[in-house]
Structure 1
Amino acid sequence: MPIIEMHLVEGRTAEQKSRVAAAVTKAVSESLPCSPDTVRILITEHRHDEFYVAGLNKMQRDALQGQAK
């Protein structure tokens, strides 16, 4: 039973999350191969101030991009 964890910055709609879950389920079931019924997907959403890239959260990255312009 494949278990896939996805971590996203909050703000996606339920429809968007459903679409990505369907696409990932299809890809996993075709590539392993296994039944789509065995694929589990866990989506965890994080606030912008909890999601860091290169040590900076989104507000910090946006501020730096604004300074670079």
Structure 2
Amino acid sequence: MPFINIKMTKGRSLEQKRELVDGITKEIVRVLDVKPEWVTIVIDEYSRDNWASNGEIHSIKFGQGCGKQGTGEK
């Protein structure tokens, strides 16, 4: 029984998360040849105040957006 744990910053919509878990489930079923009901996915969400890389807190480095929002990238 595959157990997938996704860690990401808060801010994604329910629709984005639904699409994400649907796609991951389908790929796990295809690659591992298991039934979809055997696939468990847990999403852990963190605020940017509690996430850092390269010694910098993400809410300061990138702003409050999620993903590429708040970084100036498109």
TM interval, short-chain normalised:
0.7 to 0.9
The alignment's C-alpha RMSD in Å is: 1.7
SS of equivalent residue, structure 1 residue 43: strand
CA offsets per residue over residues 17-42 of structure 1, 9 Å max, x none? 00000000011111111111100000
The structure carrying a bigger helix percent of its residues is 1
2:41 alignment partner in structure 1:
41
TM-score (norm 2): 0.77
The number of residues matched between the two structures is: 64
**Map of 1:6-45 to 2, 5 A cutoff?**
6-45=6-45
Structure 1 consecutive aligned stretches of length 4 or more whose deviation exceeds 4 Å: none
Unaligned runs of 5+ in 1: none
TM-score (norm 1): 0.82
